[in-house]
């Protein structure tokens, strides 16, 4: 086994990374950033789902597209959130026959769909302590929107692949379960691998910092595990509570919002794991061409403690009995 593989499986290293990630997660006020991403995600959900349905409808037909998209929604947010997705598809489609109105409507949908990815990128940049270079102005905003639009296209592409894979796995399950009772475990493992790859891609591509692939896998795997476990626990909780009924007609939307918020929380925790591991084992990471390390003024605007304050806190902790002198120090890069 390679040295990187041994390090990835090391319990001691994982413990250090988890401890450092929890510390950074709290310092960066990750719950606040997760709430912002979840807010944008709610408004981005309709255009993403509707356009994905339209693309799938042209390829597979309306009935098959609806069935498979709802199946994917059940996989991601559980059966409790499927009703919300079905309502979005039913009421979110453009009702005009005018070509101009249709083009404008689709354009507005695409612009709304990019909002969540723009906010996600900003949050990951906060975690990595980088920011766009000063003076880029409008050009940077346009570039960010194009990047977010590219991410939307990737999501649509992955959804189409997922639809095909879902249909193939469903057919394989019907055949294989009669010969091998453990096939459902294999299917769950394939799903876990797919989710891990998706999170790894986000951690590697989205932030404005040069991240090595070897640094993203631990955070991506932990995040995928928390995602799968959280989905089961969330469904169990909803099955024994009246949360959805408490909000009446908005119950499905509230459930989808809560699940989205939880997903954003663990997504940011995995990002913290990625940056902690990178800082522990590698030289200071460099921002991309259009980014710089965050300034002290920007740290104050974002509510992040000053670099010197963090260094002083780490030094004080190291002086206490049992203090961990290996706590990752931010701002040195």
Q: What is the mean pLDDT of residues 205-229?
A: 90
Rounded CA separation 127/70 (Å): 33
DSSP one-letter string for 99-148: HHHHHHHHHHHHHHHHHHHHHHHHHHHHHHTEEEPTT-THHHHHHHHHHH
Q: What is the mean pLDDT of residues 172-200?
A: 74
Res. 8: pLDDT tops 60: no
Strongest mean pLDDT among 48-57, 268-277, 279-288: 268-277
Say which residue, 171 or 275, is predicted with more confidence: 275
Res. 225: pLDDT tops 80: yes
Q: How deeply is 107 buried, as exposed, middle or buried, from its count of CB atoms within 10 A (0-12, 13-18, 19+)? A: exposed
Rounded CA separation 111/49 (Å): 14
DSSP helix/strand/coil, 180: coil
Mean of the per-residue pLDDT values of the chain:
74
306-317: pLDDT as tens digits: 556 555 655 665
Rounded CA separation 277/290 (Å): 24
> What pLDDT shows up at residue 272?
94
> What pLDDT shows up at residue 304?
59
> What pLDDT shows up at residue 54?
76
Kindly state the tokens that stand for 76.
Answer: 């991601």
Res. 284: pLDDT tops 70: no
> What pLDDT shows up at residue 22?
92
């Amino acid at each position: 086994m390679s040295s990187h593989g041994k390090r990835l499986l090391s319990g001691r290293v994982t413990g250090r990374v988890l401890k450092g990630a929890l510390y950074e997660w709290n310092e960066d006020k990750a719950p606040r950033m997760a709430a912002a991403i979840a807010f944008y995600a709610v408004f981005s959900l309709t255009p993403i789902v509707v356009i994905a349905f339209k693309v799938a409808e042209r390829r597979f037909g309306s009935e098959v597209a609806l069935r498979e998209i709802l199946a994917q929604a059940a996989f991601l947010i559980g059966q409790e959130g499927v009703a919300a997705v079905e309502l979005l598809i039913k009421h979110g489609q453009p009702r005009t026959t005018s070509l101009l109105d249709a083009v404008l409507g689709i354009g507005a949908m695409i612009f709304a769909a990019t909002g969540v990815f723009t906010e996600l990128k900003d949050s990951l940049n906060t975690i990595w302590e980088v920011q766009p270079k000063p003076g880029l102005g409008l050009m940077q905003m346009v570039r960010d929107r194009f990047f977010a639009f590219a991410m939307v296209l990737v999501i649509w592409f992955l959804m189409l692949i997922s639809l095909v894979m879902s249909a193939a796995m469903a057919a394989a399950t019907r055949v294989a379960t009669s010969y091998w009772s453990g096939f459902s475990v294999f299917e769950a493992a394939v799903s876990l691998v797919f989710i891990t790859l998706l999170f790894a891609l986000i951690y590697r591509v989205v932030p404005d910092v040069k991240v090595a692939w070897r640094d993203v896998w631990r955070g991506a795997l932990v995040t995928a595990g928390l995602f799968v476990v959280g989905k089961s626990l969330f469904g169990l909780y909803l099955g024994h509570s009246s949360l959805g009924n408490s909000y009446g007609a908005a119950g499905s939307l509230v459930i989808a919002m809560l699940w989205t918020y939880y997903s954003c929380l663990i997504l940011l925790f995995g990002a913290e794991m990625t940056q902690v591991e990178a800082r522990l084992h590698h030289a200071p990471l460099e921002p991309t061409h259009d980014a710089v390390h965050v300034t002290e003024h920007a740290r104050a605007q974002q509510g992040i403690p000053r670099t010197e304050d963090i260094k002083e806190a780490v030094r004080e902790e190291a002086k206490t009995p049992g203090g961990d002198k290996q706590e990752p120090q931010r701002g040195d890069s």
